[in-house]
Structure formats: structure tokens, C-alpha cells
Amino acid sequence: VVSPPTTGLRHPIDLVRGITHDVFSPQSRSLAWRLFIRNMSAQFRQSLLGYFWLFFPPLLNSAVFIFLNSRQIIKIADTGVPYPVFVLTGNLLWQCLIMLLQAPIQSVHRERGLLTKLNFSREALLVSSFLEGGAMAFIPLAAVPLILIVFHIPFSLTMLLAPIGILGLCFFAFAIGVILTPIGTLYQDVGRAIPVIARFWMFVTPVIYALPAPGKTRTLLMLNPATPLLETARDWMLGRPADLASLFGLYFGISVIALFIGVLVYRLAMPIIVERMSA
């Protein structure tokens, strides 16, 4: 392997070809899969309750707002479905977004030892983190059919679109995570700031309340790109027509482009990051 002193920006075609090779080559896919299996098996190895901890945060958060709404401490406008269904699905989707956003930064931090000692496809870490974050997010979402059955939500063909909605939300979150990974690897402030910002971000996203009628509040919420992605995913999950499907498609496309740009930045920044890690 020859590592030239120049960056790949002088030869963009070769740069894209190299990224494509490192993402889809058999060696890279095998490494990503091995890392994914290792991390998933070690995730809750010393935990008594195991994967229950994936269900606990959204359940607890939902229970708080269900109680507050039932006691009229807070008044939630009509959501079109039983409020427990609405808030549970919203919290599960929000957890999905946060997990995929944090996954690439956490993966690079976890593999610092490998990065500084071995020369391997750095993109394998991104593939592994997407698989791991996706699996950790989809395990709790497997409870959604049970929730719909318990609350007698009728089946609709629209529900078959739910995986597309979830995938769009995942791509959006993962793209942000990949873009933040280079600076998040050098400065731990980014990783610490994400949970703090996520708490505020959740309340400006219709996770626990219905999107309000047209007006200033709705306009403000629509400036948040997570709003149409989460709303559309939840509408399809509940078998309802998605009023924001066009915006969902727009942001889904932007997320794919942002992810590609993030991978380019990641590719160019990793040699510098590894050097700083080794210093």
C-alpha cells in the first residue's frame, strides 16, 4: 500500500473509486460483519436484563407523558390514534434517530487501538457502525406490531411503507453522525454535547405531541428536518396517509447526498485523525 503525501482531492475520480472499493470489497464487508457480530455479542454480555435496556428508555419516557396527559397536567391535542400508541411509536423512532447519529462516532472511539496499530479499510468501521446502530434501533421497533394489536389499530397496506420511512430516518441520522465523526473523534465535546442537544431537539420535533395546525408554530417546527422524516415514518407505521411524504422524499434524497459528502470528508480526514491518535 502506497500512501502519497497529496490528498485525494487532486484525483476525485480515484478518490471515489477507492471509497467504493473499500466499502464494497469482500475484505471490507467481512471485517465490518466481524466487528458487528463482536460488538453486538459484547453489548450486554455482563447485563442481567440484556436487550431489555433497549426497550426501557422509550417505555419510561412514554409512560411519563402518558401519565401527565391522563391527569391533564399537560394537554395534548388529538393525535388521531390512542395517545399511548402515538407517544410509544414516536419515542421508538426518536431512539432510532439518536442511536444512528451516535453510532459512527462511538465506533471510531471504540476502535482507536485498531486504528493506530493496523492498516485496514477505515470505511469498514462506518459499515459496522451502521449495522450495529440499525440493529440496536430495530430491535425495539419489533414491538410495534404488538402495540398496534393491543390497541386494536387496524391493518392497512400503508403500513408496508413503514420500513422506507424508518430507513429514511436512519439515513438522515447516520449522515449527520458521519459528518460529525472527524471532529468528534478529535474533540470529545461533540460526543458529550449530542445527548444534551438531543433533549432540546426532541421537544422541537413532534415526538410526543401532534403536529399543530397551520400557523407560526407549525412553520417553526417544519424548519426542523427531523419533523417530516419522523412524522412520515410514524404515519406509515400507523397506517395513516402521510401528508408530509413529499418533504420526506426531499430530505431522504438530501440525506443520501449528505452521507456521500460525509464519507468523503471521513476518508480525507482519517489519516490526520490516526496521526493525532498516535501522537
User: What's residue 250's pLDDT?
Assistant: 94
pTM: 0.88
Banded pLDDT at 279 (limits 50, 70, 90):
low
Task: Say how far apart CA 90 and CA 205 lie, in whole Å.
Answer: 10
Q: What is the pLDDT of residue 169?
A: 93
Task: Categorize the per-residue pLDDT at 47 as very low, low, confident or very high, splitting at 50, 70 and 90.
Answer: low
Q: For the segment 216-254, what is each residue's pLDDT rounded down to a tens digit?
A: 888 888 999 999 999 999 999 999 989 899 999 999 999
Q: What is the pLDDT of residue 247?
A: 93
Q: What is the rounded average pLDDT of the residues 16-44?
A: 81
What average pLDDT does the structure give for the chain? Answer: 86
Residue predicted with more confidence, 137 or 263: 263
Tell me what the mean pLDDT of segment 49-62 comes to: 77
* Residue 128 Cα distances to 31, 40, 157, 175, 240, angstroms: 8, 10, 32, 14, 33
Predicted local confidence at residue 78, as pLDDT: 82
Q: Say which DSSP state 2 is in.
A: -
pLDDT tens per residue, range 135-150 = 888 888 888 888 899 8
CA distances from 32 to 9, 28, 123, 129, 257 (A): 26, 6, 9, 8, 22
Tell me what pLDDT residue 161 has. Answer: 92
In the predicted model, what is the mean pLDDT of residues 71-84? 84
Q: What percent of the chain has pLDDT over 70?
A: 92
Distance CA 136, CA 102 (A): 12
pLDDT (average), residues 129-137: 87
Confidence of residue 48 (pLDDT cuts 50, 70, 90): low
- List the one residue out of 46, 61, 43 whose CA is nearest residue 202: 61
At 188 the pLDDT is 83
Q: What is the mean pLDDT of residues 66-83?
A: 84
Q: Which residues contact 83 (CB under 8 A, 6 or more apart)?
A: 66, 69, 76
Percent of the chain with pLDDT over 90: 32
pLDDT for residue 46: 64
pLDDT score recorded for residue 133: 86
- CA separation for the pair 267, 278 (Å, rounded): 18
